[in-house]
Chains A and B, each alone.
Chain A
Amino acid sequence: MSNIRRILRQIPLLIIWLMASGLIWGFVFTRITDTDPAHKIAVYIDAETPGAAELATRLDNLKRGGIRMVQVRPFTYAMLDGSSLASADLFIIRASDMTAYRDWFAPCPDGFRPESGAWEDDSIRYGIPVINPLADFQPLVEYVSFDPSETYYLCFGKDSLHMAGNAGAVDNEAQYFADILLNGSF
């Protein structure tokens, strides 16, 4: 049998290896590029986020204490795993979706940004405006493809381990990163 024919007969095996390689390394990669929730800050954004990697890098450079990693992801990233979405530390949610995702939020910390025109439910503050189409200062606009007709609110995750007062909380770094996002100091 000529070598050409031998090579052609390997094509099914080569295709199988291609698929296996993608699956195996995709799984390994996911495991090594992640860490446990107690050591990472996860920010999920209710919009397309073409600058997610860049924003994550900038926030990652500001991490401190026990935080090893900062993740910034659009909601679509968690399409197959809703649990990671619901347990995020910080959310950036458009105004029209705030009611739908209300159960994921913890109340804003007492005294946090009292002047900021928060989104309230039952007189409890849940969201601080972070992207406001009418504002001059838009620190996130180059990272997030937001809808110009909506205000976006920064919210704290009720299952976050980085909010003092939440069950099992290890520190209060969610508020630290919330300040950074609201100030644009990244």
Chain B
Amino acid sequence: MTPLYSPEEAATLSRRARLYRTVALILAVAGLCVCVLLCFGVRPNNTPRRLFEIIAVSTAAGWAAILFLNVGYRPLMGTARHIQHISGAEAAEYAGTIRKTGKLFQIPGSIVVQKIRLQQGDEALTLNVDARKAHLLPDDGTKLRVQCRGTFITAFEVYHE
């Protein structure tokens, strides 16, 4: 079976997320320290320029920290937590014909999910797959055996009758 998740992936994502968070913290603290140091260099003849410099440094450091946290740390951590969460869900196996619905939705604080339809005779199962991994699934109409944890496809295998 082709796996879509692995415990190693969760660990790697967590490590990268913590690195982003550390960098954000360092940037924020460094920015604050630079601003405090600039305050000590204030003189009557450089007051307006020094204030501008302090605001510029504070803004730049804050923006960098915000971007590292919200664009780096949070998405990675959300994905890592998702993988850890579904690892504890009930396992099941299904077989049927795949049809990708193209419908995406964002789980708040977590991953973007794509809905997958698995046709089993007259019945259709609606399953979910991490939208980043959806391209790994074969084309519509392919017969698949899938492993699931909860409603999430964690591995698949093409079969021919």
- Total number of B residues with any Cβ neighbor in A under 8 Å: 24
Partner of A21, one of B42, B47, B62: B62
Q: A29–B106 Cα gap in the complex (Å)?
A: 43
Does B112 interact with chain A (Cβ within 8 Å)?
Answer: yes
A7 with B59: in contact, given A1-B106, A25-B35, A33-B47 (CB under 8 Å)? no
Give chain A residues whose Cβ lies under 8 Å from the Cβ of B70: 6, 10, 13
Does A175 interact with chain B (Cβ within 8 Å)?
Answer: no
Main SS at interface, chain B: helix
How many whole Å from A145's CB to the nearest CB in chain B? Answer: 18
Q: A117–B16 Cα gap in the complex (Å)?
A: 78
Q: A7–B7 Cα gap in the complex (Å)?
A: 29
A17 with B39: in contact, given A22-B55, A29-B54, A53-B45 (CB under 8 Å)? no
Q: State whether A54 touches B45 (Cβ < 8 A).
A: yes
Give chain A residues whose Cβ lies under 8 Å from the Cβ of B63: 14, 17-18
Partner of A57, one of B39, B45, B54, B67: B45
Give chain B residues whose Cβ lies under 8 Å from the Cβ of A10: 66-67, 70-71
Identify which of residues 35-72 in chain A touch chain B, using a CB-to-CB cut-off of 8 Å. 53-54, 56-57, 60, 69-71
A60 with B55: in contact, given A10-B67, A25-B35 (CB under 8 Å)? no
Does B19 interact with chain A (Cβ within 8 Å)?
Answer: no
Give chain B residues whose Cβ lies under 8 Å from the Cβ of A53: 44-48
How many whole Å from A24's CB to the nearest CB in chain B? Answer: 8
Give chain B residues whose Cβ lies under 8 Å from the Cβ of A21: 55, 58-59, 62
B60 nearest in chain A by CB position: A21
Given A1-B112, A10-B66, 7 other A-B residues pairs in contact with their CB atoms under 8 A: A1-B75, A7-B67, A13-B70, A21-B58, A25-B35, A25-B54, A53-B48
Q: Which residue numbers of A lie inside 8 Å of B, CB to CB?
A: 1, 3, 6-7, 10, 13-14, 17-18, 21-22, 24-26, 28-29, 32-33, 53-54, 56-57, 60, 69-71
